[in-house]
């Protein structure tokens, strides 16, 4: 019985890693759709969110089932409760990818990203991919050193986000109101995507050490 119980705990962790891969792929494809005005790809990202939500519900159901059947204590209880919080973060990361894809769909057949900002948005997309890939490794290995690295990766995303705002607010901005709104929204979605990945990493630190990871200033 206990072997089955721990297999179930391991299965939750495996599913969380799978979910990081899914939301990472979604954001990668959403970025391509945004930059290339690829309607088909944008629609695929939006439709694919149902698979992310289904995995979210499955992990949540397994976690609640273990709580009800096994009445876990101490470290096992911490694993289950932390997993419930991580899966919520990951589900929101999937939502952020969908929001980026919806911007691409809304502006089709044009691109929502002005030529002057393509490089910055591309870098944000790459940063998001790197951050979520590390988050998956942090979960799989319970690697608290890599978890700390995500804080620095998030700083990179924050700096790119600032660059977007600097461009939009510059007196030389000539792209108009709609692109400014699109870029403002997209920048926020990338930033939040990274923030949730950092939150996942901090929860792993808590899982391993029993202590809250310090919040970066």
The mean predicted confidence, pLDDT, of the chain is 93
**pLDDT value, residue 4:** 83
**pLDDT value, residue 75:** 81
Regions of the chain short of the pLDDT cut 70: 1-3, 213-217
User: Does residue 216 form part of some domain?
Assistant: no
**pLDDT value, residue 213:** 66
**pLDDT value, residue 83:** 96
User: Does residue 217 form part of some domain?
Assistant: no
**pLDDT value, residue 210:** 83
Number of residues in the chain: 217
**pLDDT value, residue 71:** 77
Number of domains in the chain: 1
**pLDDT value, residue 2:** 57
User: Does residue 215 form part of some domain?
Assistant: no
Residues spanned by the domain of 158: 2-209
User: Does residue 10 form part of some domain?
Assistant: yes
User: Does residue 162 form part of some domain?
Assistant: yes
User: Does residue 182 form part of some domain?
Assistant: yes
Contact 156, 131 (CB under 8 A): no
Q: What is the CATH number of the domain that holds 155?
A: 1.20.58.220
**pLDDT value, residue 156:** 97
List the one residue out of 88, 204, 84, 217 whose CA is nearest residue 148: 204
User: Does residue 149 form part of some domain?
Assistant: yes
User: Does residue 214 form part of some domain?
Assistant: no
Name the E strands within the chain. none
């Amino acid at each position: 019985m206990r072997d089955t119980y721990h297999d179930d705990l391991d299965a939750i962790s495996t599913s969380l890693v799978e979910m990081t891969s899914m939301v990472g792929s979604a954001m990668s494809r959403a970025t391509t759709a945004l930059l290339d005005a690829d309607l088909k790809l944008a629609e695929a990202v939006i439709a694919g969110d149902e698979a992310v939500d289904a995995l979210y519900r499955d992990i949540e159901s397994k976690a609640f089932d273990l709580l009800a059947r096994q009445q876990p204590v101490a470290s096992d209880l911490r694993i289950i409760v932390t997993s419930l919080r991580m899966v919520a973060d990951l589900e929101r990361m999937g939502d952020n990818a969908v929001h980026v894809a919806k911007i691409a769909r809304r502006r089709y057949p044009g691109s929502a990203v002005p030529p002057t900002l393509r490089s910055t948005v591309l870098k944000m997309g790459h940063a998001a991919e790197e951050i979520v890939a590390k988050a998956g490794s942090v979960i799989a290995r319970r690697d608290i050193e890599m978890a700390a690295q995500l804080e620095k990766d998030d700083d990179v995303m924050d700096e790119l986000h600032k660059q977007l705002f600097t461009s939009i607010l510059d007196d030389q901005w000539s792209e108009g109101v709609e692109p400014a709104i699109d870029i403002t929204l997209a920048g926020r979605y990338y930033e939040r995507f990274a923030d949730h990945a950092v939150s996942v990493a901090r929860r792993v630190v808590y899982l391993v050490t029993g202590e809250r990871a310090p919040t970066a200033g």
